[in-house]
Amino acid sequence: MSETVTFYHNPVSRGRIAHWMLEEVGAPYETRVLSFDKGEHKTPEYLAVNPMGKVPAIVHRGVVVTEAAAICTYLADAFPAAGLAPAADDPRRGTYLRWLFFGAGCVEPALIDRMFARPPVERPGALGYGIYEATLHALELAIAPGWILGSQFSAADVYIGSQIIWGLMTKGLEARPAFEQYAARCKTRPALQRVAAGDS
């Protein structure tokens, strides 16, 4: 079983979230860039890794992990020396998991619906995120302590931070000062700077 993480990536994709996280934990990893233009994400070889034919995906110790939020959660636990996840018996683990799942289950679809200007649905209560404004209000409260866990940066900030940076860029997210300040704070992370500079 290999300790080196195999990272299936495309630089213009959610792969950037996993890339940032890999750099944060300092994991040994080997990147396989898949060209969307050449359809390399839909080959039988890659579909055997991720039947969705999507990136990112990682393989570590013989196990496949897909879904950017799951990859962040997994890597924080697999490389605990980086200190990016509260331990299972730490009460802050609840806050940490809550906002990671909120990021994937609520923030992401809310921003995508806004970006594509999808028409409102008849029963917003049936949507996981409900109402766009309510999701943004909750998101603002989540980041109010500084980082999600206050003074401790964690994998939840990698995921939520990625959504906020991407949302501001695509205009799926309203440019509120709290979001802009948080995005600016994320961009001070050396790991994210290495990814942005293409140094890793």
Among 50-58, 79-87, 89-97, 116-124, the segment contacting ligand GSH (CB under 6 A)? 50-58
Closer CB to ligand GSH, 53 or 146, in the complex? 53
CB 66, CB 53: distance < 8 Å: no
113 lies in the binding site for ligand GSH (CB under 6 A): no
Of 9, 19, 54, 189, which lies in the binding site for ligand GSH, with binding defined by CB under 6 A?
54
Evaluated on CA atoms 179, 113, 54, 58, the torsion sign reads positive
**CA 180, CA 165: separation in Å to the nearest integer?**
8
173 lies in the binding site for ligand GSH (CB under 6 A): no
Q: Which of 175, 134, 182, 181 is nearest to 158 (CA)?
A: 182
67 lies in the binding site for ligand GSH (CB under 6 A): yes
41 lies in the binding site for ligand GSH (CB under 6 A): yes
Q: Write b or e for each residue in 99-114: b if 16 or more Cβ atoms lie within 10 A of its Cβ, otherwise e.
A: bbebbbebbbbbbebb
SS3 (DSSP) at 9: strand
16 lies in the binding site for ligand GSH (CB under 6 A): no
9 lies in the binding site for ligand GSH (CB under 6 A): no
68 lies in the binding site for ligand GSH (CB under 6 A): yes
Applying CB under 6 A, the residues found at the interface with ligand GSH are: 13-14, 36, 41, 53-56, 67-68
